[in-house]
Amino acid sequence: MRLSRYFLPVLKENPSEAQIVSHRLMLRAGMIKQQSAGIYSWLPLGFKVLRKIENIVHEEQARAGHIAIQMPILQGADLWRESGRYDDYGQEMLRMQDRHGRDMLYTPTAEEMVTDIFRSHVSSYKDLPLTLYQIQWKFRDEIRPRFGVMRGREFYMKDGYNFDLTKEDALHAYNRHLVSYLRTYERMGLQAIPMRADSGPIGGDDTHEFLVLAETGESEVFYDSAVTDLSFGDRVIDYDSVEQCQAVLEEFTSKYARTDETHDEAAFHERVPEERRRVARGIEVGQIFYFGTKYSDAMGAEVQGPDGKKVPVHMGSHGIGVSRLLGAIIEASHDDKGIIWPEGVTPFHVGIVNLKQGDDEADAACESLYKAFEAAGLEPLYDDRTERAGGKFATMDLIGLPWRITVGPRGLKNGVVELTCRRTGTSEELPPEQAIAKVVEIYSHH
């Protein structure tokens, strides 16, 4: 993409309404525009990152054997009355009526609807296990929406639902989701720590939430510093293996890590050596639940078991805040110049800065770089504007592309361009072919 043809409405000044880093930088980098309290339009740069995050979630869900569907944004209230949650959910639920006077609601979550789909089409244990998921816009009418996409009213979320014959099978689904989430977050350059949590209005006894450590996190976090040494890495997991999934769960949840809601001070001091006790802030980016037969009992979601008798299915649900993740990544990865995107989610793979637009040699070298990256399957962003070099560098730093190639007449006389790493700020002069090869090699691992 040539920047002269792109829609990137960057701001030079910090917006007064932005209270945290991610909100400020998303507005400044031209990624979003607020339409009303807690509701945003996603502009091209923000939309590209949102799609990158969404694609990673889809890929890891498919790897775990989960099946994508799409459910309506508006739901009828009758299903929620059937489950008993319509009156319990509270004022966060946006309720309305259609022209025929039927009670409707804007989806905050979809346990009822997916249970209705299941009971309409599945009647035998032979069709289990089954996990269905979607990535879709949700709405919760927060009393005080704030912090940009971190706590908005409209948000983009992956919500998945497993159906299993027994509690043991459902707990394997729970463990499988925990493993797939760990892989998902690491691919985005995040370390998300699973913590025992409170189930809230979803219900159920078993639940973990995933938190990313950040100074502006909403939750206070108490944890053993040893959890930050854990990494999923390149390990290969058979998602059908109960033993492998259980082993990963135990590895990543055996160390103490709790939010203030479930923190046990006595257990913290008993289980964690003093030198490893940490108190910080964290951002919730996902949560998994096992809630047994809560919804299947209420809504008659049964299957015929091996003995011919009807039994309610065991269920769980699993959410990832896709739009919220974008803000969390920025909170965890930025500096005073702007965003620092991890390679896995960057909107463009490399920025090309032409220091002397209009110079025949510089223009030709930039065009050659641009076409070479495209031929390699990467997306370059070529700053071909006639703006001064300082303004071009400021824009590149603000939008946070991991790698930048600077092209100017002086370097070209020596046969080199400058390759700069956004995260470290280090630069090296390389012949254009070597700079291309190095960037292509880096992204071959992402």
- Kindly tell me if the per-residue pLDDT of 307 is higher than 60: yes
Q: What is the mean pLDDT of residues 203-229?
A: 87
The CATH code that applies to domain 350-443 is 3.40.50.800
Q: Quote the CA–CA distance of 347 and 44 in Å, as a whole number.
A: 9
123 pLDDT higher than 70:
yes
Q: What is the tens place of the pLDDT at every residue in 18-57?
A: 889 999 999 999 999 999 999 999 999 999 999 999 999 9
pLDDT tens per residue across span 62-101: 999 999 999 999 999 999 999 999 988 888 899 999 999 9
Sign of the dihedral defined by the CA atoms of residues 242, 246, 249, 251, in that order:
negative
Burial class (CB in 10 A: 0-12, 13-18, 19+), 144: exposed
User: In whole angstroms, what is the distance from residue 88 CA to residue 407 CA?
Assistant: 61
pLDDT digits (tens, 9 = 90+) for 270-297: 999 999 999 999 999 999 999 899 999 9
Please state, for a pLDDT cut of 70, what percent of the chain lies above it. 98
Residue 176 has pLDDT above 90, yes or no: yes
Q: Which neighbouring-strand residues pair with 280?
A: 221
- Candidate from 137-141, 364-368, 390-394 with smallest mean pLDDT: 137-141
Fold of 3-339: BirA Bifunctional Protein; domain 2 (3.30.930)
The residue among 393 and 15 whose pLDDT is bigger is: 393
**124: amino acid identity, one letter:** S
* Domain residue limits, the chain: 3-339, 350-443
pLDDT > 70? residue 201: no
Pairing between β-strand 350-354 and β-strand 403-407 as defined by DSSP bridges: parallel
Predicted pLDDT at 203: 47
Confidence label for 197 from pLDDT (cuts 50, 70 and 90): confident
CA 208 to centroid of chain Cα atoms: 16
- Residue 202 above 60 pLDDT? no
What average pLDDT does the structure give for the chain?
A: 94
Q: What is the pLDDT of residue 199?
A: 56
**Average pLDDT over every residue of 395-421:** 97
